[in-house]
Amino acid sequence: MSGAHALIRTPRLAPRVVALGCELVLLGFVGVVSYMAALYIDWSSAPCATPSARLLVAGGAILVAAVRRLLPVTALLAASVLFGLYPATGVTVALAAYGVAGRAWSVRRRAVGLIVAAFVPFTIALVGSGYQWRVSFIVFGVAALVCLAGPVAVQMLLGQRERLIGALRDQTRYAASAARLQERSRIAQEMHDLLGHRLSLISLYAGSLEVDATKPSHETEPARLIRGTARTAMDELRATLGMLRQREPAATKPADCTGTWSDVAELVRQAQAGGIHVELHWSGADLVGVGQPIRQAVHRIVREGLTNVYRHAPGSTASVFVEHGQRSIHVGVFDDGRVGIGTPGTGLGLVGVQERVRLLGGSFLAGALPGQGFRVAAELPLAIAPPAPVEPDTDSEPADNRWARAGMSAVLATGLIGAVAILVVTFNSVTFNAPPELVGAPRVGSTRAEVTDYIGRDDVLARQAARGLETNPPQGADCMYTYFSTEDGTIMIERYCFRQDILVDKARFGVPA
């Protein structure tokens, strides 16, 4: 049998370093997504045709995202303004809205901030597009649902989940504390009984010396002082520990043979009588000369292990091991868990046993075996050692929780990319056209690059629609086409003709209804 070994905790990075690294990765993610989105979202009021312009947009998105924790509302409004000018920065709006929704503010304050953030880009787009109400409402309505309503809903669901998990953790922590207090009360009872008995004997012996008539009074005076001190100690012990005294069934009260071979063998026989297939493996000398607290711990570990087998794995084969070594005592109960389906438990019994072992300076281990089965094992010192300090659980996070957080981060990143993808599809499906009063701003003599920066790429649909409507272009010139809608719904086509990349002619044609 192998003894219980203390778990060795691997060193971990400081939480601040990990948080800083995650923040830098997130900012890099925002910059990359914004830069890539600028390649596909062509916004006529603020085009991003050049790599330098796309880098500026990505840098602005990173800057706004970097201050979202320090100034959440300001960051959300700035992200909304930036989104109205450059829709490629929708990931920043979603990130800022997610942070504002998670703040412990009043519902009114959060609602006002989110509503303003929804109307700011719509207003900017409306003015920049020449008051194209229908298109602006459709596109930025979809953007508000994707970049504002979606993150807020996700934050609310995650917040509710975190509150539920926190309540369950508090309940579990409270139950574990109650189990530890119950075990300490039981230990206090045992100490009260043991020390009370010894102090009573000291008082009795001192009393017999005090009343010895054959000795002079100056020799009986120390006996009188000893008896008075013992009585005072007894009263103080009762006052300190008497309130913690708890009644136990007679079968579980410790006796002088508690934890010895005969006591453990009796526990095994009782388990066998209850239908458990269990064997006892004892190695080393008996525990008769070992301190009573150590023997009581052995009794409790074996009893708790057999109780767990009976409750949670009835019909399985179990083994009880006790090894009396030169420096420590190893005790454990192992079962194969192959037969029977037991009832679920709370685990508070194991918590109480663990607290008892800790107070004795030992180590405790309970958990599933590789493959199948369960073990309850402990290593106890032969002499009572100072208890090991209870380390807080704040620095250690279960592996399941870490995997859950990693999965949640991946889901959120996928959601942000999906939101940007929806924006790309939306802005490419509904085209914003330059307002009529702004068409013609490129003058004859402008370069092709200047005209392209103003109207965008050549529109194939506009080129085909102009056939049969347009006049003959200048000889030897190549032309670019674009279109826009007037306030009354008329579609106008603009033609720009170039020679050697210099604008030499521009014309406008109306498409009949």
Instruction: Give the start-to-end residue ranges of the domains of the chain.
Output: 15-171+404-422, 189-244, 251-388, 436-510
pLDDT band at residue 8 under the 50/70/90 scheme: very low
Name, of 314-318, 401-405, 459-463, the range with top average pLDDT: 459-463
Lowest-pLDDT choice from 225-239, 256-270, 391-405, 429-443: 391-405
- Determine the topology of domain 436-510 in CATH: Beta-lactamase Inhibitory Protein; Chain:B, domain 1 (3.30.1450)
- Please say whether the beta carbons of 415 and 389 come within 8 A: no
For position 149, what pLDDT does the model report?
80
Region for residue 401 given its phi and psi (left: phi exceeds 0; alpha: psi -120 to 50; beta: otherwise): alpha
- Distance (Å, rounded) from C-alpha 369 to C-alpha 7? 15
pLDDT value at 457 more than 60: yes
The residue behind tokens 């794995």 is 313
Q: List pLDDT tens digits, range 445-454.
A: 888 888 888 8
Is there a shared CATH topology between the 251-388 domain and the 436-510 domain?
no
Alpha helices, H only, 323-398: 348-359
**Domain spanning 251-388, CATH architecture:** 2-Layer Sandwich (3.30)
For position 432, what pLDDT does the model report?
53
Return the ∠ at Cα 188 (arms to 292 and 361), rounded to 5°.
55
Query: What share of the chain has pLDDT > 90, as a percent?
Result: 6
- Distance (Å, rounded) from C-alpha 312 to C-alpha 374? 10
pLDDT value at 249 more than 70: no
Q: Tell which wins on pLDDT, 490 or 224.
A: 490
- Please say whether the beta carbons of 378 and 297 come within 8 A: yes
- Please say whether the beta carbons of 311 and 274 come within 8 A: no
pLDDT value at 88 more than 70: yes
- In the chain, % helix, strand, coil (3-state, to 5) comes to 55, 10, 30
For position 497, what pLDDT does the model report?
92
For position 473, what pLDDT does the model report?
86
Question: What are the CA-CA distances from residue 344 to residues 229, 303, 312, 379 (Å)?
Answer: 51, 18, 6, 27
DSSP 243-309: GG-----GGGS--TTTTSHHHHHHHHHHHHHTT-EEEEEEESS-STTS-HHHHHHHHHHHHHHHHHH
Q: Tell which wins on pLDDT, 183 or 168.
A: 168
Lowest-pLDDT choice from 104-118, 227-241, 247-261, 400-414: 247-261
- Per-residue pLDDT, averaged over 271-281, amounts to 84
- Please say whether the beta carbons of 199 and 237 come within 8 A: yes
Strands 478-485 and 491-499, how do they pair?
antiparallel
The residue behind tokens 């050049």 is 50
Can you name the residues that pair with 278 across neighbouring β-strands?
318
For position 275, what pLDDT does the model report?
75
pLDDT value at 180 more than 80: no
Which contacts qualify for 439-445: CB closer than 8 Å, 24 or more apart? 439/484, 439/492, 439/494, 439/508, 440/494, 440/506, 440/508, 442/496, 442/503, 442/506, 443/503, 444/503, 444/504, 444/505, 444/506, 445/502, 445/503
H/E run at residue 118:
helix 107-128
How long is the chain? Answer: 513
- Please say whether the beta carbons of 116 and 122 come within 8 A: no
- Please say whether the beta carbons of 45 and 53 come within 8 A: no
pLDDT value at 71 more than 50: yes
How far the first Cα of the chain sits from its last, in Å, is 92
For position 330, what pLDDT does the model report?
92
Region for residue 284 given its phi and psi (left: phi exceeds 0; alpha: psi -120 to 50; beta: otherwise): left
DSSP 423-445: HHHHHHHS-----GGGTT-SPTT
- Please say whether the beta carbons of 133 and 126 come within 8 A: yes
- Per-residue pLDDT, averaged over 94-99, amounts to 85
The DSSP secondary-structure symbol of 145 reads I
pLDDT value at 320 more than 90: yes
- Distance (Å, rounded) from C-alpha 273 to C-alpha 283? 24
- The arrangement of strands across the sheet holding 277-283 comes to 277-283, 317-324, 328-335, 374-381, 363-368
Lowest-pLDDT choice from 100-114, 279-293, 341-355, 475-489: 341-355
- Please say whether the beta carbons of 178 and 348 come within 8 A: yes
For position 215, what pLDDT does the model report?
62
Q: List pLDDT tens digits, range 102-131.
A: 776 777 888 888 888 888 888 887 776 666
For position 498, what pLDDT does the model report?
92
DSSP 60-93: HHHHHHHTTTTSHHHHHHHHHHHHHH-GGGHHHH
- Per-residue pLDDT, averaged over 237-257, amounts to 50
Question: Rounded mean pLDDT of the chain?
Answer: 75
H/E run at residue 497:
strand 491-499
Question: Tokens for 81?
Answer: 């303004």
- Per-residue pLDDT, averaged over 497-513, amounts to 84
